Amino acid sequence: MSDPVEQRAHQRLAVAERRLARTPAVTLAATGRAFWRYPSPWIISGYLVATLTARVVVGGWSRADLLAPVVFLVLFPVVEWLIHVFILHWRPRRVAGVEVDTLLARDHRRHHADPRDVPLVFIPWRALLWVVALPGLALPLGVGALVGAELSVALTFVMTLAVVLLVYEWTHYVIHSDYKPRTRAYKAVWRNHRLHHYKSEHYWFSVTTSGTSDRLLRTYPDPATVPTSPTAKDLHGRGAGVSARP
């Protein structure tokens, strides 16, 4: 095996396998308890409780309340892909002599450099507050008012967003934890995201599904045909503190 990049990839895999062999089996319950030690799940849960309370107070349940979640869940894999590609993998650039970068992009580069740094697995809480306040609340309610949607339906949409955010954070956290996949469905999701981190950052952008949006948007190649990327842990080759840990 002459390619040094491939050699490093196989070395990292061997280290990871040895570490897993030495590590006692981690239960899902223990993983869940650790999940709640971080601020993001609590912020999203507070957002969910607030929107659920508002929805119950407003009342007026109808069939339209089923439509909002269905539409959101159908679109979410594509939305997740777009956010991952164009926001999280944003390449810093200079505009009028000023470097344009974002907190989300910076933290995501750090996440790729060390996928086992747990705080970096979560949406940064400062960015999350903006997500909750603007696109998560003001935007759906404002658009709903513009198109004449009832407040009740707009609140159902916002409540669905809160649930999806919590599922996203949990899924991403479990993938990067020491919990070993046990079901076929979770193994597929786990493998898809691990390929993105350890094989090539240019493919496999889905997180909460096993490549749903990747198949649609042509970023789901056969891993055997994809060379291991030398910048999978150093997005854009910026030397952002690449870690040797697998």
In the chain, the percentage of residues whose pLDDT exceeds 70 is 83
Residue range 7-20, pLDDT digits in tens: 777 777 677 666 65
From the list 170, 176, 155, the residue with the least C-alpha distance to 55 is 155
In the chain, the percentage of residues whose pLDDT exceeds 90 is 50
CB 139 within 8 A of CB 28: no
State the DSSP string of 175-236.
HHSSPPP-SHHHHHHHHHHHHHHHT-TTS---SSSSSHHHHHTT----GGGSPPPTTTTSGG
Residue range 195-217, pLDDT digits in tens: 999 999 999 999 999 989 999 99
CB 112 within 8 A of CB 232: yes
When mean pLDDT is compared across 121-125, 138-142, 149-153, the lowest value belongs to: 138-142
pLDDT value at 155 more than 50: yes
Residue range 82-119, pLDDT digits in tens: 999 999 999 998 888 888 899 899 999 999 999 999 99
Strands 98-100 and 93-95 turn out to be antiparallel
Give the mean pLDDT of the chain: 84
Residue range 29-79, pLDDT digits in tens: 999 999 999 999 999 999 899 889 988 988 888 888 888 788 888 999 999
Instruction: Report the alpha-carbon distance of residue 52 to residue 172 in Å, rounded.
Output: 24
